[in-house]
Amino acid sequence: MLNSIFSLQKMKAIIIGAGIGSIGLSIRLANSGFDVHVYEANDYAGGKLHSFELGDYRFDGGPSLLTMPHYVTELFQLVGKNSEDYFQYDKEDESCRYFWEDNTRLTGYSDPYAFAQEVQDKLGVSSKVLTDYFNYSKNIYDHSGKIFLEKSLHKAATWLSKDTLNSLVRMGQFDLFKSMNQANEDRIQEPHLVQLFNRFATYNGSNPYKAPGILNVIPWFEHGFGTFAPKGGMQEIPKSLQKLAENLGVSFHFNSPVQEIKVENGKAIGVRVNDKMVRSDILASNADVYFTYKRLMKGQPAPEKTLKQERSSSAVVFYWGIQHSFDELSLHNILFSKDYKQEFREIFEEKRLPTDPTTYINISSKSNPEDAPKGSENWFVMVNAPAHRGQDWKRDVDALKERVIQKINGQLKVDIKDLIQEEKIWTPKGIESDTRSYQGALYGTSSNDQMAAFLRHPNFSSKIKNLYFCGGSVHPGGGIPLALLSAKITSEMIIND
């Protein structure tokens, strides 16, 4: 027994990329006795979850919404640390404010019962309709989460467990064979609410008119667990976890892009980085799985069918320093398009920017006033976009900007063009270049298929020993909570193996 423990402590693990999933994996492996080294091409950790400044404004570059923060704090608890010594956050009363062009407005309270009452007051829809819907969403989470989110779908042990059997007998309740839109129309009917709940498909870059109804679990993440704002901004998530990892002995190597994964006799033995060979016992890639195969393992057979799956949506983001403060807006805001189905048709089928773009505005200075000068606001303005396939983004984004400004002006009754003091624009091409996400897809592959969850790349290689995968491009998917769950699944595999 002592010999096996000593041997485990001597094992070296290399992780490619320092995204949020990678940092979570490094903490779990270091806590289990591994000597962990993380190699990152950029000079910072966090991947898409980064921060920058424009003049006197601070912006979160990537994800702007925090749900299910317990997946962050459990990493501190795992190693016996008080998470509040590293990471603080506040729960928000409002998850989002919603705006339609017929002048309908709703406040999406984090509390599901308060939200249901808001819907009854504003739309005349019985509060029971929404409370029943949230119970439906919660039921999906309670009885499918342990399969689809917390376990590998590619290991026999998952399918032989009691939890799986209990979930399988309830599968008919999950609307797996209906689209999200069809399930929402059946359960809610009211058009504003159907559109509102359809929009949760974008949380994993999918089309609600094709994605399976089981994704209606996502609203429960926001209204069951709540929405949260980290003190200091979203950047504090990777910063605090990096600090924890380093306290456990994890070594981060920045400005060190991995050039090749070395494989000998069907076994991963290390990486080539900065033209030097670095050996390891365990190798895990948090890089986009497409680029892992196509760029880092050129001589190895790739799972072509998996890699050819439809990409998730990407985004165009306008970072604007706005010389004004708007009471009508909250931390999170959605300005809906008139024809949602057409919008998704343009994104996924026509591969172009939407004519009438649903526009998301995040203003972190609402919760962290120091992010913008007094009387001003830092706007993160995002529009869903197709993956990068060679489009002329300069031309298309210039036209998109005018449409977005026109939409915002219509809601706020002011010309914001004159209020934009600072600007930076991130396109799908830029996202691909900066984050090495294939085609700039934010979530790897889309879920526009009933079997999409089963088709994602697993957290391990079935052909190459000692090679594992984590992060948003593999199971269970993209976004902060799922990337951290991916790290948990991968770490359990490595330790068990």
Amino acid sitting at position 239: K
Check if the beta carbon of residue 187 is closer than 8 Å to that of residue 147.
Answer: no
Residue 167 pLDDT exceeds 80: no
Of the chain, the percentage scoring pLDDT greater than 70 comes to 93
Lowest mean pLDDT, pick from 2-6, 27-31, 294-298: 2-6
Structure tokens at 24: 């979570």
Check if the beta carbon of residue 449 is closer than 8 Å to that of residue 201.
Answer: no
Can you give the pLDDT at residue 171?
65
Phi/psi at 325 (5° precision) = -125, 135
Can you give the pLDDT at residue 8?
46
Q: What is the CA radius of gyration of the chain?
A: 22
Per-residue pLDDT tens over the stretch 446-456: 989 877 656 78
Residue 466 pLDDT exceeds 80: yes
Can you give the pLDDT at residue 273?
97
Residue 279 pLDDT exceeds 60: yes
Structure tokens at 452: 């999409």
Per-residue pLDDT tens over the stretch 114-125: 999 999 999 999
Lowest mean pLDDT, pick from 100-109, 321-330, 468-477: 468-477
All residues at 6 or more sequence positions from 206 whose CB lies less than 8 Å from its CB, including other chains: 215, 312, 313, 443, 446, 447, 448, 452
ω into 476 cis (within 30 of 0): yes
Can you give the pLDDT at residue 174?
82
Can you give the pLDDT at residue 106?
98
What mean pLDDT do residues 72-95 have? 96
Q: CA 28, CA 13: separation in Å to the nearest integer?
A: 11
Residue 400 pLDDT exceeds 50: yes
Residue 7 pLDDT exceeds 50: no
- Which one, of 486, 476, 389, lies nearest residue 429 by Cα? 389
What mean pLDDT do residues 313-340 have? 98
Q: Strand pairing partners for 333?
A: 97, 361
Residue 4 pLDDT exceeds 80: no
Q: What is the mean pLDDT of the chain?
A: 93
Per-residue pLDDT tens over the stretch 129-154: 999 999 999 999 988 776 677 766 66
Sort strands 12-16 and 282-285 into parallel, antiparallel or unpaired: parallel
Can you give the pLDDT at residue 5?
46
Check if the beta carbon of residue 332 is closer than 8 Å to that of residue 106.
Answer: no
Q: What pTM, to 2 d.p., does this model score?
A: 0.93
Residue 274 pLDDT exceeds 70: yes
Residue 165 pLDDT exceeds 70: no
Burial tier of 75 (Cβ tally within 10 Å: 0-12, 13-18, 19+):
buried
Per-residue pLDDT tens over the stretch 201-213: 999 999 999 999 9
Can you give the pLDDT at residue 151?
66
Please report which confidence band the pLDDT of residue 335 belongs to, taking 50, 70 and 90 as the band edges: very high
Per-residue pLDDT tens over the stretch 371-393: 999 999 999 999 999 999 999 99
What mean pLDDT do residues 272-296 have? 96
- Where are the domains positioned within the chain? 127-222, 310-438
Per-residue pLDDT tens over the stretch 210-261: 999 999 999 999 999 999 999 999 999 999 999 999 999 999 999 999 999 9
What mean pLDDT do residues 292-298 have? 95
What mean pLDDT do residues 32-47 have? 96
Write a three-state SS string for the chain. CHHHHHHHHHCEEEEECCEHHHHHHHHHHHHCCCEEEEECCCCCCECCCCEEEECCEEEECCCCCEECCHHHHHHHHHCCCCHHHCCCEEEECEEEEEECCCCCEEEEECCHHHHHHHHHHHHCCCHHHHHHHHHHHHHHHHHHHHHHCCCCCCCHHHHCCHHHHHHHCCHHHHCCCCEHHHHHHHHCCCHHHHHHHHHHHHHHCCCCCCCEHHHHHHHHHHHCCCEEEECCCCCHHHHHHHHHHHHCCCEEECCCCEEEEEEECCEEEEEEECCEEEECCEEEECCCHHHHHHHHCCCCCCCHHHHCCCECCEEEEEEEEECCCCCCCCCEEEECCCCHHHHHHHHHCCCCCCCCCCEEEECHHHCCHHHCCCCCEEEEEEEEECCCCCCCHHHHHHHHHHHHHHHHHHHHCCCHHHHEEEEEEECHHHHHHHHCCHHHCCCCECCCCCCHHHHCECCECCCCECEEECCCCECCCCCHHHHHHHHHHHHHHHHHC
Please report which confidence band the pLDDT of residue 104 belongs to, taking 50, 70 and 90 as the band edges: very high
Lowest mean pLDDT, pick from 160-174, 427-441, 481-495: 160-174
